[in-house]
Structures are given as C-alpha cells and as structure tokens.
Chain A
C-alpha cells in the first residue's frame, strides 16, 4: 500500500450518481445557472478559500477556465514573448537567441529537424532547465521561478514521452491537473471525496472533451499508448492553463485520433487558449497553426504563416537537404 489514494476505485457509479443528485439539488437551490464549482475560477477568483465546500465562486461553470479571464475572449493578445533565449550544454549551443511570440486563441507551431532544440525550448519555458540568457514575458510579467510556480501561473505542458503517474488511476491523474488551478479542496485533505466532487465532475467532462472513452478508474500505466497521450493532454487541460505547450502530441496517434485532435485544438483555440505545438506531422502543423517558428541548430531560421514557411528556401533546405532546395 504505497501512497496511493485510489479515489477512482472507491467511488462507484451509484455513489457518483448520488453525488450528482446533490449537485443538481445545489443547482436548484441556488440559481439555475450557477454551479457550486470553484475549479474553473480558482486561479482568478480571490475568494476561492473562504466559503463552504460548494459555493466558491458565482461564475458560470465553464469547461474553459481560460475564457473566464475577464469574462470574454480576447483573441490575439500577446501572451508569451521570448527574447534572445540561449542555453548551452557543454560545448553544444542548444538554443541561440531564440525569439518567439504566442498569442491567445491561436495555435503556434514550433518545427524543425530532430535535435534542433525544440524540446529544450519547452524545458526552458517550463522551468526545468535554466537558460544562460534571455527574457521570457508571460501574461505581462517576467516568467521566473520553479516549474511549479510557472505551472500555477497558467503554463501547462505535455511531454514527448507521456509522463503519467502510472500507478494512480486515470481519474487521480486528472485530479492532479485540477489541483494545479484550484486548491479550494485543500481543507478536505483527509476526506478526499467531499472536497473533490466538483473536481471529479470537471475531470470527467474534460476527459470526454479530449475524447477519452475508457474507464477512469484503471491505473494509468495500464492504458494503451494512444490513450496515454490523450490522458496527459486532459491532465494538462484540467490545470486550466492559459498557455498549453504540447510536445509531439500527435505522434503515435492513428489517423482518426489525429483528426479529432485537430478538431479539439481548433475548439480550444476558439475558447481563447494559447497553444504552443511541437509536431513533426507537417500536414497537421500546416493545417492547424496560425504561425510557425522553425528551429534549426537552436536558432530560429524562419517565422511566419504556414504559407510563408513552406515557401522558405531555408526551411526546405533544413528539412529535405540541399538538393531539394537546389532542385
């Protein structure tokens, strides 16, 4: 018995239904369209900690907490700006003077050959690596500090190889994401069920949103590979990020899954979420991204719309080699 509070296993369908009944009762009692749910608002709503278990905020429940920010969508606001980011490992300059802009409501692509420094860029942004130089501004303020601090500021990410908590249930994994944004349940730390009912509802809805159809109560380690990516994406979304960084999210997905992934990304973009995407599948990147940054040898060799990038000789050179460019 190591550590796990296997929540997913302790809640049966019957129990869950009863939980839903109570939620419904709460709906009736308060007002038709407010919900007793804090998670969506936890980051933005200061009074998240001073009322009862349910009625944390009085905002409309939304699947997309990022759209709560200011109440409406404000597409095209510059959310993340990276200036002159550099890092080296030993004698290898992994990133050199990288410049990058990410706007809300848009999917921004980062492409480049293997080893170009794309994942290193993500690791620098999420605080796992300390860059040698450069400034990163996020949401109007410098982005600094430990990975956990950055995550709480709304920086969600996935990894090239999915890093789920393998012995925890899928639901527990998602609840972890929920906790990034919302600590209102921390008073129920010794009675996990009570404080978590709203979060569980939220996790279920987000699992459905990303198209996870499996059982939420199985250990995450037992999932097939394609589902690992989906669940990791859901977990990141549960954290209500304002910027979502996805590291090769479509690799290992089959055509159908990739298709629904594109649909999901469009939907999230419409909600006002900013997405930064590393991907090798060019068709997908070209179709999805508003702007693309091309990295090669740790340097930005091109930046612009998909059309610009495809026409760029340097890019064709970097991807296909010299003769394609020459031909």
Chain B
C-alpha cells in the first residue's frame, strides 16, 4: 500500500464525515423552526396537492374536457420561460415565437422519423441558435430596449416564417404533412396530461435546482449590481446567455408539447401579442418565481378554457380583461405576485410569525 492510497482512504473517510455534517447542517436549520402545526399543514398540503395533480383531468371533468388543463400546463411552461428571465432582470417577449420554432422542430423530427424519445431533447437543443441570437442583443440592450428587440423578433418570426410554414390552419408547408402524430402512449388528452406533467415537473426541478444553487445567487447578484459582479470575477454575459438559453429551451419544449396536444398549430396562435398576455401571467405569478409562474400559467391558461365549455362559448376573451386587472392589483399591492401572496398565506396557515 503506497502513501497515496492511504491519503485517498483518509480522504474518503473525511468526505463521508463532511457529508454527514453538511446534511445535519441542512436539517438542523429547518427542524427546530417548525411547529407541529406547520409540519401537519405541510404534510396535508403536500398530499392534497399531489392527489390533485395526479387526478386533475378527471376531477375537473365536470367543468370540461381534459384539453383545458393540458393547455393550462403548456401555458404554465411558456410563462415559466418568461419568468426565468426575471432572474437576470430582463423582459423577453420572444417565448411565443420560440414555441413556434418548437412546433416546427417537432414536425421536422417527424418527417425524419425520429423516435419520440429523442424528439424532446432534440427540440430543446434546437432552441440554442435563436436563444444565442437573442442573447447577443443583451450585450448592448437592456430593459425596455431588449424587450422591444425581442418583440420585433417575434413579429418577424410570425410574419415571415410561421405564416408561411404553418399557415392559417397549421399545415406544415412543403413537407406534405398536415399534422403531427402523437406517440402511441398518449392518444387521449388525459394521457397527454401526464406526459406534460412529467416534462413540466422535470423542467421545474431543473429551475428550482438552479435557483437554489450558487448560480441562483449569482443571478441575484448580477441583477443588483453588474459592476460589482463583474469586478468580482464573474462574467455577466455568460450568465445572461445562460438564462436566455434556459428560457428559450423551456419555451421551445412548451411549443413541442403544444403541437402534440393540438396536432396542428395555426400561426395565429403564435401572435407576438400573445407573449404580452403571457408576460402578464408571469407578472401575476411573480417575475423570477418558478412556483408562481407555474401556478399563474396553469390557472390563467386552464380556467378560460373551462369557462368556455361551461358557458357554451359565451365566455370568450374575458381573460384579457381579468388578467389586466390582476396585473394592476399585483403591481400595486403585491409586487412579488402570486408567489408573494402564496408565501403570506402559507405563513399564516403554518402559524409562524410573518
């Protein structure tokens, strides 16, 4: 046994010890702070939420077909892609266009007979060129100017590409295909829900992980003082590019799921103004918040569809009015959006001091 071997053994032992310590560091931080009531409400809340998520298409059957909630999840994902940019303090109105490129990517994959298992990763990767193009704008443009640039891009993508390629009825130009075929295991809208849920949970977990990691803290720092951030050795552009690529990938995957749900996506579903609506949802959810974005997206996405069924299509486009009001209220009363409101309510439920 050589010297190095001894060292490695010692290292391993200590590694184990440090891991234990670290986990106790983590647990000791939370355990004593929780009251019994809080633990109970967490448990109940978790179970109820899980049960609800697991059965949502069926429990909501009285209100309408599962399509509504499927649509809600896709909106949730699109809103998440906007909200994620809140980490670097930017506003992008391009996600709806990026969804459109997801639609196109799925079609291309299908034409080339790529199995479903590979399609979503390919779609996610295919978002990179456009994300990088948009990210290049942030080298020079910030804030309002960047938002306008993304809007102009979305406008161009819609007029020059989607109108041609998807047309008014969602047929794919020049490919001979008129619609996308769902993979065999998601023939029904109900099963589609579980596919979406799985993807959404995976995406959300990635976002949570990034947000809680050191990268998340760096985003906060970048937002608060770019000068301090850069003079402490961190490249601001890299983090901007990362956030924009992440947002683009989420939006593009949302677009892919959208076409699997719809089978055809006519270009008028990809209007740039739609992005403004989604941005409104993101504000309502709380910019930068993952949970808030998902909740706001799902709720504001699904409810109008349900209402449409319940009122026999009497209810159309009222969501614009409602979300407009919500944005006002949120801006004035709770700038953190649903996420902030949720936290306040939750604190009260748990019985811990606010």
Q: Which residues of A contact B (CB under 8 A)?
A: 1-5, 7, 9-12, 14-16, 18-19, 21-22, 25-26, 29-30, 36, 51-55, 126-128, 146-152, 155-157, 159, 163-168, 172, 176-177, 179-181, 185-186, 189-194, 197, 235-236, 239
Contact = CB atoms under 8 A, between A and B. Distances in A.
Q: Which of B12, B221, B223, B291 lies at the interface centre, i.e. has the most chain A CB atoms within 10 A of its CB?
A: B221
Contacts of B219: 3
B11 A51 contact: yes
B21 A26 contact: no
Q: Which of A165, A189, A193 lies at the interface centre, i.e. has the most chain B CB atoms within 10 A of its CB?
A: A165
Given A1-B289, A29-B10, A165-B221, A11 B215 contact: no
A1 B219 CA distance: 12
Given A4-B216, A5-B214, A54-B14, A19 B235 contact: no
B209 interface: yes
B228 interface: yes
Nearest to A128: B227
A10 B29 contact: yes
A212 to B, nearest CB: 17
Nearest to A183: B233
Contacts of A36: 14
A123 to B, nearest CB: 9
Contact of B15 (A12, A19, A54): A54
Contacts of A16: 25
B234 A19 contact: no
A144 to B, nearest CB: 15
Interface string B85-118: 0110000000000000000000000000000000
B280 to A, nearest CB: 18
A25 B20 CA distance: 13
Contacts of B230: 127-128, 146-148, 151
Interface residues of B, number: 56
Given A151-B233, A163-B227, A197-B21, 9 more contacts: A1-B339, A2-B220, A15-B21, A22-B21, A30-B10, A155-B231, A165-B224, A168-B220, A189-B215
B29 A19 contact: no
A3 B217 contact: yes
15 contacts: A1-B289, A3-B211, A5-B213, A5-B216, A16-B25, A18-B25, A19-B21, A52-B11, A52-B14, A127-B230, A165-B220, A176-B221, A180-B232, A189-B213, A192-B217
A242 to B, nearest CB: 13
A155 B12 CA distance: 36
Contacts of A168: 217, 220-221, 224
A287 to B, nearest CB: 28
B14 A165 contact: no
B232 A18 contact: no
Interface string B276-301: 00000000001111111000000000
A6 to B, nearest CB: 8
Q: Which of A5, A127, A180, A190 lies at the interface centre, i.e. has the most chain B CB atoms within 10 A of its CB?
A: A5
Contacts of B232: 148, 151, 176-177, 179-180, 235-236, 239
Contacts of B211: 1, 3, 5
A216 B343 CA distance: 24
A148 B21 contact: no
